[in-house]
Amino acid sequence: MSRTPDTWILSAQCPSVLGTVDAVTRFLYEQRCYVTEHHSFDDRLSGRFFIRVEFRQPEGFDEPAFRAGLAERLAPFDMSTELTPPGYRAKVVIMVSKADHCLNDLLYRQRIGQLPMDVAAVISNHPDLEPLARWHGIPYHHFPLDPADKPAQERQVLRVIEETGAELVVLARYMQVLSPELCRRLDGWAINIHHSLLPGFKGAKPYHQAYQKGVKMVGATAHYINNDLDEGPIIAQGVESVDHAHYPEDLIAKGRDIECLTLARAVGYHLERRVFLNANRTVVLNP
Dihedral in degrees, nearest 10, Cα atoms 74, 77, 80, 82: -30
Catalytic site residue from 230, 243, 250, 257: 230
Amino acid at the residue 171: L
Alpha carbons 33 and 269: distance in angstroms, whole number: 23
Alpha carbons 83 and 199: distance in angstroms, whole number: 42
Distances (CA, A) of 217 to 142, 173, 197, 199, 244: 35, 20, 7, 11, 11
Residue 230 among the catalytic residues = yes
Amino acid at the residue 71: A
Alpha carbons 50 and 241: distance in angstroms, whole number: 34
Residue from 189, 188, 249, 178 nearest 218 by CA: 249
Q: Where are the beta strands (DSSP E) in 225-280?
A: 234-241, 275-278
| Residues designated as active site | 230
